[in-house]
Structure 1
Amino acid sequence: MKKRLISWTLLSAMLVALVGCGQTTTEQDTSNTDESATGGSGDVITVAMWDSPQEPGFTEILAKFTEETGIETRIEVTPWDQYWTMLEAAATGGSMPDVFIMHSNEIAKYAENDMLLDLSDYIASSDKIDMSKYPQDIVSLYQNEDGAQLGIPKDIDTVALWYNKTMFDEAGLAYPDDTWTWEDVAEAAQKLTKDDGSQYGFAVSPDNDQGGYYNIIYDYGGYVLSDDQQTSGFDQPGTIEGLTVLMDMEKNGYMPPYTTLVENGDCTLFMSGQVAMTLQGSWKVNDLTNNDYVKENCDVVIKPMGPNNVRTTIYNGVAWAAPANSDDPETAWKVIEYLGSQEAQQMQSDLGVMMSAWEGTSDNWINAHPEFNLQAYLDVMNDTMVIFPHSRRTVNWANMIKEEIGAGFTGEKTPEETCKNIAEQMNQILEETN
């Protein structure tokens, strides 16, 4: 493998929280996170994750694993905002968790420094893992430059439109359906917005990329990153047009003010009854379906379309990984092998934890919350799916976008000026990091 020499001191400066699969759940608990619990533990295999709503399901899954193998495990949950700092510190100290979740934003840094266990030989001799059963875009995310497999896909996520039925009823509006376009969303948002600022028609946070505005960009024929990962697409006409639709809703007062969105987040505002519609990724389903207000007032539908009936969902998936310097790689692999197996992936879906990566195992996921139309997250897979835009240093340019896009929401710059500014800076970052 061609190894780039990147110090972990430098990496620490780049480990800034991003929005992506399972992130921005600021309401999550900090469970089992004291320093004494971090790292390999000999007889007990530590399994690290950031999403506390998924912990009960994985406790049950790993209990089944222990029953079958006799191997004890312990789940450690660290909220997204601290997870990557924890993992970097553990890597620097040589005490990474035995098994942990890896994200497409971060994989390159760990792969280039040979910090992850090569799973290729284990996979080749396994009767439980079949890499052809996972989405191949997600499989490829967790390979190094030489094609070694460094992670086993855990899940797949898509995006849908959540709406407040009570607010629609009060406004005398028909609920969104599969014919809705972004123009329909903007029109309804106007009618659902109250002049006193107590209720807004729509919300997408400036930091909600995968679950929010990335989808609108592709619906309008734009793109975030070129296929060769060398060039920004923010200066493309479709990108500018799509973001103009979104930013105009903000300008016209149909979305909460920029500062409100930044401070609270679109999902929190929706769950507190201040917003009538919002785009949310499937990783937020546990938060939404367990919220009493949402249970009483809300539902979900397939996301809207852009011009020419183009409906795109940005999808992604995380993976199970282990440290290259594992004290017990064979046992760590047994845990990963089980978590990636059809049996465990089916359990993940059946328990309502998350849509699973293994082909055909996600159908039962919707049954965990039958009061909601979660089928919307599966139906969108029949339309255009675009893998989460990523490059060798996704974090660098993704954080820049979240900072600079605010100028378009506040009106400091026009949507076109905002997009072209992002494209210029993004191209510079790509040139420096690729």
Structure 2
Amino acid sequence: MMVLSLAACGGGSKSTTDTSAAADGAKSGDGGKITVAIWDNGQKPGLQQIIDDFTKATGYQVDLQVITWDQYWTLLEAGASGGDMPDVFWMHSNESQKYMENGILMDLTDKIKSSDKLEMDKFPKEIKSIYEYDGKTYAIPKDVDTIALWYNKKMFDEAGLAYPDDTWTWDDYYNAAVKLTKPDGSQFGTAMNPSNNQDGWYNIVYSMGGKVISDDMKKSGMDDPNTLKAMEYVDKLRKDAMPDATVMSETGTDVLLQSGKIAMLPQGSWMVAPFKDNEYIAENCDIAVLPKDATTGKRVSLYNGLGWAANAKTKNPEAAWKLIEWFSTKENQESRHSLVLQWLHTRAFQISGRTAQISSTFRHI
């Protein structure tokens, strides 16, 4: 079962780019130059290569700017209010509705229909729907992300516990988390990002048959008996096997895993690259699928996806559209795959001895 997430994602990896400098550059370009704004510095090299090819093919000059996640939406909103936004930028499910409703994004509907380079039927319809409003399309999906379970093999070995596998239920997860929690507070069984529900309790709620929101998206699902059951489980897990919420929020759950403070962490595919480059995780950790619920038998991993959008008031609408179209072709999707994820060149990765195929529609990593 796959459930479309309305939660935030992509904030786990911090950019090292100077935000003020990027903000100064992330404005609509003049003449034949367009500006592009993203928030993940890890993706800049791969995107820059694709942009360089675009410039060679079209003659359009492109300035790629990275703005940290913490500042991205503040600066984008300020730019929208002041009439000075970047030409092309990443859009997110959390923010897309207000930007579409207020006419801030370029309407791409007719451009998509007339394009002979795009294969829109290859993108998941749930992801496409995030960027559709009133029968029109305002962004093209850039990627798809999902959630898996990272665990510390060394801690499991020291506790004499078997590694997580696809037979695990959330009961197994709780029991292991408690056993992996040390009374002196030096180690905890797990953690949960307080500010990102996509890699947190949403997965548990839907796995246990609950709902965060009704199917028609008109009312809350928090009074559903199964949702209440799931939240009781989360509360028990929080009390018995997690660090204090302040620690998780201020330190960051990814840092807790990287520093050997927690044994397990549900985390998004956007963290694969930074985790892969972390020496401690590379030596001590592995990945498994999320647990399933013992009663429903459901294993749920929420997914989400970013989109390429353009400023409705860009001074260079043709160049902005051509770049979005260029990013979204099968060829350049596959090119970005090889550039950003060279170490996953087989388009598959090992999850506890089981091979999991990943769609060629890009993961948000």
Is the aligned partner of 1:79 residue 2:43?
Answer: no
Distance 1:58 1:141, change over 3 A: same
Q: Deviations over 1:211-245 (max 9, x none)?
A: 11110110100011112111111111111111222
* Partner of residue 304, structure 1: 291
Spell out the pairing of 1:239-254 with structure 2 (5 A cutoff). Answer: 239-252=227-240, 254=241
How far 1:122 sits from its partner (Å)?
Answer: 1.0
Give the whole-Å Cα distance in 1 for the aligned partners of 2:352 and 2:35. 32
Q: Say if 1:168 and 1:175, in contact at 8 Å, map to a contact too.
A: yes
Which of 196, 199, 217 is equivalent to 1:211? Answer: 199
Distance 1:127 1:377, change over 3 A: farther
* Partner of residue 404, structure 1: none
**Greater relative contact order, per chain length (Cα 8 Å cut-off, separation 6+):** 2
Q: Deviations over 1:353-389 (max 9, x none)?
A: 5xxxxxxxxxx883389886499895699xxxxxxxx
Question: Number of paired residues?
Answer: 351
Give the whole-Å Cα distance in 2 for the aligned partners of 1:197 and 1:324. 52
Q: Say if 2:348 and 2:357, in contact at 8 Å, map to a contact too.
A: no
Q: Deviations over 1:304-341 (max 9, x none)?
A: 11133201111111100101111111110110001111
Is the aligned partner of 1:57 residue 2:46?
Answer: yes
Letter in 2 for 1:111: M
Distance 1:110 1:92, change over 3 A: same
Gaps of 5+ in 2: 1-5, 360-365
Which of 127, 140, 155 is equivalent to 1:167? Answer: 155
Q: Say if 2:7 and 2:94, in contact at 8 Å, map to a contact too.
A: no
Which of 290, 299, 304 is equivalent to 2:277? Answer: 290
Is the aligned partner of 1:267 residue 2:254?
Answer: yes
* Partner of residue 94, structure 1: 83
Give the whole-Å Cα distance in 1 for the aligned partners of 2:65 and 2:268. 24
Runs of 4 or more above 6 Å deviation: 368-372, 374-377
Give the whole-Å Cα distance in 2 for the aligned partners of 1:36 and 1:204. 35
Which of 155, 161, 176 is equivalent to 2:164? Answer: 176
Letter in 2 for 1:305: K
Q: TM-score, normalised by structure 2?
A: 0.90
Q: Deviations over 1:131-173 (max 9, x none)?
A: 111001111111111x111101000011100001111111121
Letter in 1 for 2:235: M
Give the whole-Å Cα distance in 2 for the aligned partners of 1:193 and 1:204. 14
How far 1:350 sits from its partner (Å)?
Answer: 2.0
Q: Say if 1:120 and 1:149, in contact at 8 Å, map to a contact too.
A: yes
Q: Deviations over 1:49-79 (max 9, x none)?
A: 1112211221222222223333222211111
Give the whole-Å Cα distance in 2 for the aligned partners of 1:126 and 1:139. 17
* Partner of residue 137, structure 2: 149
Which of 233, 238, 242 is equivalent to 1:255? Answer: 242
Which of 339, 344, 350 is equivalent to 1:366? Answer: 344
Q: Deviations over 1:14-73 (max 9, x none)?
A: xxxx96121243x32234642431212223221111112211221222222223333222
Give the whole-Å Cα distance in 1 for the aligned partners of 2:55 and 2:164. 45
* Partner of residue 225, structure 1: 213
Give the whole-Å Cα distance in 1 for the aligned partners of 2:93 and 2:127. 9
Give the whole-Å Cα distance in 2 for the aligned partners of 1:366 and 1:199. 31
How far 1:255 sits from its partner (Å)?
Answer: 1.1
Matched residue SS, 2:133: coil
* Partner of residue 416, structure 1: none
Is the aligned partner of 1:113 residue 2:91?
Answer: no
- Further displaced range: 235-244 or 328-337: 235-244
Give the whole-Å Cα distance in 2 for the aligned partners of 1:21 and 1:261. 16
Which of 117, 121, 126 is equivalent to 1:128? Answer: 117
Higher normalized strand content (fraction of residues): 2
Give the whole-Å Cα distance in 1 for the aligned partners of 2:71 and 2:286. 31
Is the aligned partner of 1:344 residue 2:332?
Answer: yes
Give the whole-Å Cα distance in 1 for the aligned partners of 2:222 and 2:321. 41
Higher normalized helix content (fraction of residues): 1
Q: Say if 2:203 and 2:302, in contact at 8 Å, map to a contact too.
A: yes
* Partner of residue 320, structure 1: 308
Letter in 1 for 2:151: Y
Q: TM-score, normalised by structure 1?
A: 0.76
* Partner of residue 407, structure 1: none
Distance 1:79 1:216, change over 3 A: same
Give the whole-Å Cα distance in 2 for the aligned partners of 1:123 and 1:312. 32
Letter in 2 for 1:234: M
Q: Say if 2:92 and 2:305, in contact at 8 Å, map to a contact too.
A: yes
Is the aligned partner of 1:234 residue 2:237?
Answer: no
